[in-house]
Amino acid sequence: MAIADKIVGMMERSSWIRKMFENGAKLKQQHGADKVFDFSIGNPNVPPPKEFFDALEETVKLEEPNKHGYMPNAGYPAVRKEVADYVSREQGVELGVEHVIMTAGAGGAVNVALKTIMNPGDTVITSTPFFVEYQFYADNHGGSLKLVPTKEDFDLDVAAIEAAIDATTCALIINSPNNPTGRVYPESTVRDLAAMLEEKSREIGRTIYIVSDEPYRKIVYEGVKVPSLLKNYKHTMASASYSKELSIPGERIGWLIIGPEADDAENLAAGAVLCNRIIGFVNAPALMQRVVGRLQGKQVDVEIYKRKRDALYEGLTKIGYELYKPEGTFYLFPKAPGGNDIRAVEALTDELVLTVPGKGFGSPGYFRISYCVEDRVIEGSMGGFERAFKKLQE
């Protein structure tokens, strides 16, 4: 056997996703790309803001020695200062340079956070539906993921999470705004969660961390504010990415912030810097660090996403689909008409509308629509959504 047994298993399990993509590509070839309505992937289609291109051009022009060389593994102190100052203002916390580690996106940051705290056999709790990569991330560091369903409205079920905690629990991954539901967890939920975790940490005699994965924090509508885990729970490590807010996911740039009041915060930060290095990242990409350092608070035009959300939400609701109207992200997570998500996704695929079954997010019975697509894709898909809906009622 050439490949590690575990990787073989992972490849088999993720092969249905590959098949889906292959199938999508085949359909596009057969029918023409403009006849296929592809809502399957979350690749931001709103262009980066003008400020990004300006900052990139200016940064490229800067003349200084060692500009593309190594810097401290945590990132350029000046960039980390920009991030610390901005997030301090944004979330009402007091961060210093020493609490910020620049990372290869939020995916990098979550892995660094987990590696820093996980002992073999530890479990990490997350709520379903969930971003399926978390399962790999927990496994990467010798532990596993425990899944707890959210409530009917996709809000966290704090009592269910409490019941799932045991002596192996080292952390919760909280993802708000959530992929795939678009749900922003309200302040009251966050407070209840924090109080419960304080209590349970005492009870089990170990600190339960929150790894707050926030790549969609800026992709919210109608002035919604995303409640801060960093502010509400001191044992929080927050991860973020410029992938969605600046539409630059290919560049792999984000950060990890260590809660300044966390027990042993200094060591926790030092451990995270070590882990950032030894996982193989070494440091976040140099040029993009400097670029995003200049772009604190800048973001894509979310009104474009909002119009797409509204068009789809209204269109689908009218047809009869049941779905939560999300506060953020660029995802919708409707109930599968008829209840079977695989069947629903197949029926939609027959109409050349590509979506992802909820099974892939730990929530069968739903399906995900990623609406970072051109408006014409939304308009063109409505007939297919309607025909599939009718078929699934039969």
CB of 288 or CB of 316, closer to a second copy: 288
Does position 5 bind a second copy by CB under 8 A? yes
Q: Which of residues 19, 25, 29, 43 is near a second copy by CB under 8 A?
A: 43
Report in angstroms how near the CB of residue 270 gets to a second copy at its nearest: 6
Does position 33 bind a second copy by CB under 8 A? no
Query: Which range touches a second copy (CB under 8 A), out of 80-88, 110-118, 217-225, 321-329?
Result: 110-118
Query: Which range touches a second copy (CB under 8 A), out of 23-31, 279-287, 307-315, 359-367?
Result: 279-287
Q: Which of residues 36, 79, 117, 336 is near a second copy by CB under 8 A?
A: 117
Does position 248 bind a second copy by CB under 8 A? yes
Classify residue 283 by its DSSP letter. S
Which 169-228 positions form the footprint of a second copy (CB under 8 A)? 206-207
Q: Which of 80, 74, 142 is nearest to 108 (CA)?
A: 74
Per-residue tokens: 262: 């966390």
- In angstroms, what is the C-alpha Rg of the chain? 21
Report in angstroms how near the CB of residue 269 gets to a second copy at its nearest: 10
How far is 348 from 337, CA to CA, in rounded Å? 11
Binding flags for a second copy, 45-74, as an x/- string (CB under 8 A): x-xx-------xx--x----xx-xxxx---
Q: Which of 80, 118, 84, 48 is nearest to 284 (CA)?
A: 80
Per-residue tokens: 84: 């610390």
Classify residue 116 by its DSSP letter. H
How far is 140 from 146, CA to CA, in rounded Å? 15
SS3 of the chain: helix, strand, coil, percent, to 5: 50, 15, 40
Does position 40 bind a second copy by CB under 8 A? no
How far is 186 from 235, CA to CA, in rounded Å? 19
Burial tier of 37 (Cβ tally within 10 Å: 0-12, 13-18, 19+) = buried
How far is 64 from 68, CA to CA, in rounded Å? 9
Does position 149 bind a second copy by CB under 8 A? no
SS3 (DSSP) at 244: coil
Does position 111 bind a second copy by CB under 8 A? yes
Q: Which of residues 92, 121, 142, 297 is near a second copy by CB under 8 A?
A: 142
Query: Which range touches a second copy (CB under 8 A), out of 28-36, 145-153, 286-294, 300-308?
Result: 286-294
Classify residue 155 by its DSSP letter. -
Which 253-272 positions form the footprint of a second copy (CB under 8 A)? 253, 262-264, 267-268, 270-271
CB of 60 or CB of 224, closer to a second copy: 60
CB of 44 or CB of 129, closer to a second copy: 44
Q: Name residues whose C-beta falls within 8 Å of residue 89's C-beta, 6 or more positions apart in sequence.
A: none
Q: Name residues whose C-beta falls within 8 Å of residue 178's C-beta, 6 or more positions apart in sequence.
A: 129, 154, 184, 185, 216, 329
Q: Where are the beta strands (DSSP E) in 194-328?
A: 209-213, 236-241, 254-258
Binding flags for a second copy, 307-346, as an x/- string (CB under 8 A): ----------------------------------------
Does position 144 bind a second copy by CB under 8 A? no
Which 228-247 positions form the footprint of a second copy (CB under 8 A)? 246-247
Q: Which of residues 25, 33, 41, 167 is near a second copy by CB under 8 A?
A: 41
CB of 2 or CB of 393, closer to a second copy: 2
Other beta carbons less than 10 A from residue 137's beta carbon: 23
Please count the residues of this chain forming the interface with a second copy, following the rule CB under 8 A.
75
Which 83-102 positions form the footprint of a second copy (CB under 8 A)? none
